[in-house]
Amino acid sequence: MGDYTVKKDISEMSLAFVGAGKMAQAMAKGFLAAGVVKADHITATAPSCRSQPTLEDIGCQFTHNNKEAVENSDIIFLSVKPHILPGVLQEIAPVVTKRHLMVSVAAGVPLQFLEEKLPPKSRVMRVMPNTPCVVRQGASVYVPGSHVEKEDSEIIKSLLSSLGYCSESNEGMISAVTGLAGSGPAYAFTAIDALADGGVKMGLPRELSIKLAAQTLLGASKMVLETGKHPMQLKDDVCSPGGTTIYAIHKLESGGFRNLLIDAVEGACLRAEAIA
Ligand code: NAD
């Protein structure tokens, strides 16, 4: 590991996203919106056969050269698909030094694997973010590896907090977090679309239906977070005896609504473990 003084101030640090896809773009745009990192301090990479104009368009640097991006950065977000990651680790390992905080967002790839593929004592962390990071309403957890310092965790906590909710976790929980929060936005998008279909079926214009559905989920979520009440208490509060809402809840229960959501989280969690 080379001789290098680790920077402490995020605004001085340069970030690299190795793999400039959907998750990297969501995080980079969130960091810029939060003002925690400047665009010219972010470098994103993708293979030479691909171009990623989105991040370049907002002032980030872009290269096809993963090693060059790592060499010029302090915090490296490994944001390629899990099956691509082993090859990328092999490629960049020769240029990873004491300077670098390596942060994998890949589902299902354990810390031990990451640490084994990088030079001894590399500072490695796992993060499980989700794409609402782009609007700074993400839900993320981070798990420190064996050689990270307290300051590293503080830096990642501070970066992720600028993108929404975040908390430290342990690796035993990260597949469940993947199943709930990592994949969760897709469940919510599907729910919004289905609710909007219901509105359209009953005569509402599509655009109004989508807005009402999305705002209803947003409002309900804020009530859970801001009142601190249990979700089922809030549900009971809006189910008047013999009213419209309890009739709808009966329909949801008859269709196995909760069971399906529990199955969805379990399915994604087990899939994350199978990828490992
Ligand atoms: P994606 O396919 O959108 O992005 C992957 C990027 O990697 C692409 O830009 C691709 O061109 C690039 N790439 C491929 N090979 C490369 C290589 N050798 N070197 C550099 N770049 C390369 O995928 P994504 O959805 O952004 O997922 C990326 C990672 O984020 C995955 O490991 C996934 O588990 C994790 N993740 C994704 C989400 C999500 O909602 N998308 C949520 C949590 C975690």
> Which one, of 7, 6, 29, 8, lies nearest residue 17 by Cα?
29
Question: Looking at this predicted complex, what is its ipTM?
Answer: 0.99
Q: What is the pLDDT of residue 120?
A: 96
By most ligand atoms within 8 Å of CB, the mutation choice from 17, 18, 23, 128 for ligand 1 is 23
Q: How far apart, in whole angstroms, are the C-alpha atoms of residue 186 and residue 144?
A: 27
Residues 200-242 have pLDDT tens digits of 999 999 999 999 999 999 999 999 999 999 999 999 999 999 9
Residues 232-262 have pLDDT tens digits of 999 999 999 999 999 999 999 999 999 999 9
Nearest atom of ligand 1 to the alpha carbon of 183 = 40
Q: Taking a C-beta distance cutoff of 8 angstroms, is the pair 115, 124 a contact?
A: yes
Q: Taking a C-beta distance cutoff of 8 angstroms, is the pair 130, 150 a contact?
A: no
Asked whether 45 lines ligand 1 (CB < 6 A), one says yes
Q: Taking a C-beta distance cutoff of 8 angstroms, is the pair 243, 77 a contact?
A: no
- What does the mean pLDDT of the chain come to? 94
Nearest atom of ligand 1 to the alpha carbon of 131 = 40
Asked whether 82 lines ligand 1 (CB < 6 A), one says yes
Q: Taking a C-beta distance cutoff of 8 angstroms, is the pair 178, 107 a contact?
A: yes
pLDDT at 48 over 80: no
- Residues in contact with 128: Cβ distance below 8 Å, sequence separation at least 6, in sequence order: 105, 107, 140, 141, 142, 174, 177, 178, 181, 182
